[in-house]
């Protein structure tokens, strides 16, 4: 801190206001650095959860890839904790933007698939609760094997009433998946077509 000049000479007194500002800034800076370090370590840990084929698609630096693969061999808690810290240091030296972009793309695809499966489950449950829903589905997917689906729905209703394992319910889900995916494969009119588009109309 630079001393102040006064009429009586140089003033070496403590500047409380300046010291207060400096002390207030230091914890914020440390907190931010710790948050960034934690985020880098979390990203490294996320990589350890990916299968090897996806890791290879990320084009990771050799040191990072080796560390991630080595983590799958570690079982001791203490060793794993130290290894995660090491991974965090490696990630701080790595350009994470391409990694995060690819993970976001994979996460988006996973979300879309979940929505699709939830749509199928909704159709199945509604059919079992009300057989009239069959007509709605067939109107959207006219190539459906109507007799097979109707038989499965009747069997699922009987199994539900008798408290039996939902074998037919699982078969309905499988059939609905085959029908909707076949419809997607045969649809070339819209490049952005997805089975979810039709499923969402009735969820």
Quick one: which H or E segment has residue 140?
A: helix 133-140
Query: Of the ranges 29-38, 67-76, 172-181, which one carries the lowest mean pLDDT score?
Result: 29-38
Do 49 and 90 lie in a common domain?
yes
Residue 202 has pLDDT above 90, yes or no: no
pLDDT band at 199 (very low <50, low <70, confident <90, very high): low
Q: How many domains does the chain have?
A: 2
Judged on CB neighbours under 10 Å (0-12, 13-18, 19+), 42 is middle
Tokens standing for residue 127: 């059919």
Please indicate, yes or no, if residue 170 is contained in any of the structural domains: yes
Please indicate, yes or no, if residue 84 is contained in any of the structural domains: yes
Contact 96, 76 (CB under 8 A): no
Residue 21 has pLDDT above 80, yes or no: no
Q: Which domain holds residue 119?
A: 103-199
Do 112 and 188 lie in a common domain?
yes
Using CA atoms, how far apart are residues 188 and 76, in angstroms rounded to an integer?
53
Do 174 and 120 lie in a common domain?
yes
The CATH number for 39's domain is 1.10.60.30
Contact 119, 195 (CB under 8 A): yes
Using CA atoms, how far apart are residues 33 and 117, in angstroms rounded to an integer?
41
Q: Helix 77-92 to helix 16-48 angle, to the nearest 10 degrees?
A: 110
Q: Give, in degrees to the nearest 5, the angle at Cα 123 between 141 and 111.
A: 100
Q: Give, in degrees to the nearest 5, the angle at Cα 38 between 33 and 43.
A: 130
Residue 185 has pLDDT above 70, yes or no: no
DSSP state of 97: H
Please indicate, yes or no, if residue 62 is contained in any of the structural domains: yes
Give whole-number Cα distances, 132 to 53, 124, 153, 181, in Å. Answer: 45, 12, 11, 23
Residue 10: helix, strand or coil by DSSP?
A: strand
Do 82 and 112 lie in a common domain?
no
Contact 196, 190 (CB under 8 A): no
Please indicate, yes or no, if residue 5 is contained in any of the structural domains: no
Contact 200, 119 (CB under 8 A): yes
Do 55 and 139 lie in a common domain?
no
Do 76 and 34 lie in a common domain?
yes
pLDDT band at 43 (very low <50, low <70, confident <90, very high): confident
Provide mean pLDDT across the span 95-101: 86
């Amino acid at each position: 801190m630079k001393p102040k000049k006064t009429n009586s000479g140089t003033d070496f007194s403590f500047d409380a206001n300046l010291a207060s500002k400096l002390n207030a800034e230091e914890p914020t800076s440390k907190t931010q650095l710790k948050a960034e370090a934690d985020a880098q370590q979390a990203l490294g840990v996320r990589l350890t959860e990916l299968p090897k084929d996806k890791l290879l698609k990320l084009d990771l630096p050799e040191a990072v890839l080796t560390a991630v693969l080595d983590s799958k061999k570690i079982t001791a808690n203490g060793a794993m904790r130290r290894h995660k810290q090491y991974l965090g240091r490696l990630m701080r030296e790595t350009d994470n933007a391409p990694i995060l972009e690819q993970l976001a793309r994979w996460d988006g695809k996973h979300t879309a698939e979940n929505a699709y499966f939830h749509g199928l489950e909704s159709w199945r449950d509604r059919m079992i609760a009300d057989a009239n829903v069959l007509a709605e589905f067939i109107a959207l997917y006219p190539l459906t094997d109507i007799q097979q689906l109707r038989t499965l729905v009747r069997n699922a209703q009987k199994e539900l009433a008798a408290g039996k394992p939902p074998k037919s319910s699982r078969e309905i889900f499988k059939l609905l998946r085959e029908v909707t995916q076949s419809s997607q494969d045969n649809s070339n009119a819209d490049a952005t077509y997805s089975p979810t588009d039709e499923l969402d109309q009735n969820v």
